[in-house]
Structure 1
Amino acid sequence: MAECDDGIRIELAWPRPGGVLRCLLHLPAGSTAADALARAVRSEGWPVDALQGWPLGVFSRRIEPGDVLRDGDRLEIYPPLQLDPKEARRRRAAYPRRSADG
């Protein structure tokens, strides 16, 4: 993305049941991830739970809400895990799959 005359453009992506909410935002240079979330709630009508402290990332790299965004970034909101990966492995190990033979 080319830098805007008045700041930066970012994409915001938030996986939700039924699909991913996406929006393009024009923000002043120096805006943080928290600024982008607040703008999405205020101007795009996103639910306030976008600001509930869920993990954030830019192109799958974890960031903090106070991190400054750059032009062209895709800010991602990561929903909480439904099941811890270690617990999922334990459950699979406790109930081994049956083979096709029997």
Structure 2
Amino acid sequence: MLLKISLVYSPAPRQVREWVLEVAAGTSIAQTLAQCRIFEEFPELQIGRLSVGVWGRKTTPGHLLHDKDRVEIYRGLRVDPKVARRERFNRQGVKRAGLFAKRRDGGKAGY
């Protein structure tokens, strides 16, 4: 029995590469990646250090696939989200962010 699998990888922001594969029942994520030959196209990926998931839930490369699964390969974060938010807030300034973005005439800040 063949399973239809979708494999998705985003090599850079706003770029998505998708493969639609048919694999045999009982195939693992690692076997699917080898069959897809993604490592030839993206040599920076390494099977041992790969972060993968199925439908947004993180899992291991040994996970067995089911029909119509969507396998996702995750990139590492370049910047800590808390640091990025703090820097964005500092660039925008206090008066343009959060509670202070909208203000009624004659009203107090944040109300």
TM-score range, shorter chain: 0.7 to 0.9
User: 2:4 pairs with 9, 12, 17, which one?
Assistant: 9
Q: Are positions 1:67 and 2:63 aligned together?
A: yes
Q: How many pairs are equivalent?
A: 94
Match of 1:20 in 2: 16
Residues 1-102 of structure 1 aligned to structure 2 (within 5 Å):
6-17=1-12, 19-41=15-37, 46-52=41-47, 53-91=49-87, 95=90, 97-99=93-95
| Structure 1 unaligned spans of 5+ | 1-5
Is 55-64 or 33-42 further displaced after alignment?
33-42
Aligned-residue sequence identity (percent) comes to 31
Normalising by structure 2, we get a TM-score of: 0.69
Contact 1:40 1:46 in 2 (8 A): no
Q: Which amino acid aligns with 2:2?
A: G
More helix by share: 2
| Structure 2 unaligned spans of 5+ | 97-111
Say which one has the larger Rg: 2
Q: Report deviation, 1:45.
A: 5.1
Normalising by structure 1, we get a TM-score of: 0.74
Q: Report deviation, 1:85.
A: 2.0
